A and B are shown apart, each in its own frame.
Chain A
Amino acid sequence: MIEAKSVSLVYENGTVALRDVSLHIKPGEIVYITGPSGSGKTSFLKLLMGIEYPTTGRLKVMGQTMSRMNASNIRRLRQKMGPVFQEFKLIRGRTALENVMLGMRFLGFPPKKMQEYAMEALTNVGLEHKSSSLVERLSWGESQRVAIARAIARRPSLILADEPTGNLDVDNAMNIMDLLTSFRDENTSVIITTHATHLIEDKEEGTFIRIKNGNLQIERRGEALV
């Protein structure tokens, strides 16, 4: 799914976001990336999404080498991903259902199937009753769930969630974590970044990556050890 060999990312202003990162993530794996703010978690996700390119080293995502690619190749790769953005990036003036469907419109689903998948995703996140509500009328937590529904409705191979728990209280944050990890299956990997290490301390399964000053520490638990 993801192969990184000695990947570094240095921004134009000289900031080193990632240093000599090497790792391998298999399909169906669940990965938690932790680290303090500014440690490079978001930069790592940016590399995976083709928003940034490695300064040195080699990175392959779903078989695609992440070097200078043209826009249409990057977009094709992103179509296989289900991103959940830190600030949600929902489209105002549209309903929850329209937002979820927006992420699927260019994937070739017939309209009926698209609506069915979108409603199914909203039901999975417990928001079927809010499907026709405008997103600006939803609470923070509800918006977060719509963003997750948009990501999973696309049937992605890789779910990328950047700080999905944000400022939620522990119970709600745990719920969001459990919700996201529940979409993992043998073909779908889930990568979650968070600065709240206490949320994942007790997890018995998964790959735990700690980023500090651009360096990675990797720990595998449960099935991920195999």
Chain B
Amino acid sequence: MKSAVYNMGYFLKEAKTLFKIDFMSNVLSILSIGLIFFILALVISGWDIMSFIIETIEKEAEINIYYREALNNEEISKLIDDIKSVEGIGDVKLVDEEESYLRMKDILGDEAHILELFEDNPFSPFIEVQINIAESDIILEKLNEIENVEYIRDNKRVLDRLYDIVSVLEFIGILAVVAVGISTLMVVSHIIRQGIYNNRDQINTLKLLGAPQPFIDFPFVLEGLFLTLIGGFIASILLFVLLNYGYGQVEMAIPFIPLPSVKNLIKAMISFTLVTSAILGVIGSLLGVAKQGEGYIR
């Protein structure tokens, strides 16, 4: 350990020399590792964003219950009481025609003038109900059984579709992690093995002088670590630029979609990319130094 501390400067210098000896291969490896990590970070970001959207929608899960228009106030109050008695129901609010019209006007914004084409208010009153999304199937079944309920509009289809997208993204994410892991390990271990081969004379000399194996291997491990860390850093820069730009575009195009904070997402993704790249770099280089074939002294 003491020896490792004393020699840190030497190890760093050796790692730099190893990098310079095979300069072009190392640069190309860094670029490919950077792109691989960028793709991984993109997939994971997509996965994270979709999960956030679903979580938000789940938290705000509401259904609209439409009833027969002929009902009088007393019957509507009874209907609300019946709805409240169902297990898993949160707030219940009656939205009359007027409020319904105003909400749509808000949603349409600049386009709200099209509502003026209607002579009468085209919207029907409804009852807005917050529900526990996990029990939505049972709740909907029970609500449908209540007298005077004409039609229930829920977000289930939308949520189901979003769940499907997340499942696909999750699957792609896992595939991407495995693919990135394997390809990075292969690239790093190959480049390290190449470096060991190119330096076999020096390695043999060190062995003859009695250098312990970790002393010989450490500069190669550092080289592998730097390769992936620089690759991870490049991926982080690309991700930073893309997320900052992409977020602005998405927010402008579909403002009603809830998105996680871009700062937090970038911070989390950069940490993930750098930590993953460092771990893979160390494992890859350890794999690279593990097998030294013919031509090496004990």
Interface residues of A (CB under 8 A from B): 49-51, 71-72, 74-81, 83, 85, 89, 91, 93, 102-103, 105-111, 114, 150, 154
Q: Which residue of B lies closest to A80 (CB)?
A: B210
Give the chain A neighbours of B17 by CB distance below 8 A: 93
Contacting pair B205 A77 (CB below 8 A): no
Contacting pair B7 A105 (CB below 8 A): yes
Contacting pair B205 A106 (CB below 8 A): no
Judge whether B198 is part of the interface by a CB distance below 8 angstroms. no
**Nearest 8 A/B pairs, CB to CB:** A78-B210, A79-B210, A89-B205, A106-B215, A75-B210, A71-B298, A103-B209, A106-B211
- Cα-based distance from A89 to B205 in the complex (angstroms): 6
A89-B210 contact, Cβ under 8 Å, with A50-B298, A108-B2, A111-B6: no
- Cα-based distance from A78 to B3 in the complex (angstroms): 17
Contacting pair B210 A106 (CB below 8 A): yes
Contacting pair B3 A49 (CB below 8 A): no
Interface residues on chain B, size class: 20 to 34
- Cα-based distance from A150 to B179 in the complex (angstroms): 47
Contacting pair B298 A74 (CB below 8 A): yes
Chain B nearest CB, measured from A84 CB (Å): 11
Give the chain A neighbours of B297 by CB distance below 8 A: 51
Give the chain A neighbours of B6 by CB distance below 8 A: 105, 108-111, 114
Q: Which residue of A lies closest to B202 (CB)?
A: A91
Contacting pair A106 B208 (CB below 8 A): no
Other CB < 8 Å A-B pairs besides A79-B209, A79-B210, 15 of them?
A: A51-B208, A51-B298, A71-B298, A75-B207, A75-B212, A78-B208, A80-B210, A83-B208, A85-B205, A105-B3, A105-B6, A105-B215, A107-B3, A109-B6, A110-B6
Judge whether B206 is part of the interface by a CB distance below 8 angstroms. yes
A72-B212 contact, Cβ under 8 Å, with A89-B201, A91-B202, A102-B206: yes
Contacting pair A76 B205 (CB below 8 A): no
Judge whether B167 is part of the interface by a CB distance below 8 angstroms. no
Chain B nearest CB, measured from A69 CB (Å): 9
Chain B nearest CB, measured from A93 CB (Å): 7
Q: Choose among B10, B204, B207 the residue that contacts A105 (Cβ–Cβ < 8 A).
A: B10
Residue pairs across A and B with Cβ atoms less than 8 A apart, 16 shown, are A51-B208, A51-B298, A72-B213, A75-B207, A75-B212, A89-B204, A91-B205, A93-B17, A102-B209, A105-B3, A106-B211, A108-B2, A110-B6, A114-B6, A150-B209, A154-B209
Give the chain A neighbours of B215 by CB distance below 8 A: 105-106
- Cα-based distance from A111 to B208 in the complex (angstroms): 22
Give the chain B neighbours of A78 by CB distance below 8 A: 207-210
Give the chain B neighbours of A108 by CB distance below 8 A: 2-3, 6
Give the chain B neighbours of A80 by CB distance below 8 A: 210
Contacting pair B205 A81 (CB below 8 A): no
A49-B208 contact, Cβ under 8 Å, with A89-B201, A105-B215, A108-B2: yes
- Cα-based distance from A205 to B223 in the complex (angstroms): 51
- Cα-based distance from A115 to B210 in the complex (angstroms): 19
Give the chain B neighbours of A114 by CB distance below 8 A: 6
Chain A nearest CB, measured from B128 CB (Å): 74
- Cα-based distance from A49 to B168 in the complex (angstroms): 61
Give the chain B neighbours of A150 by CB distance below 8 A: 209
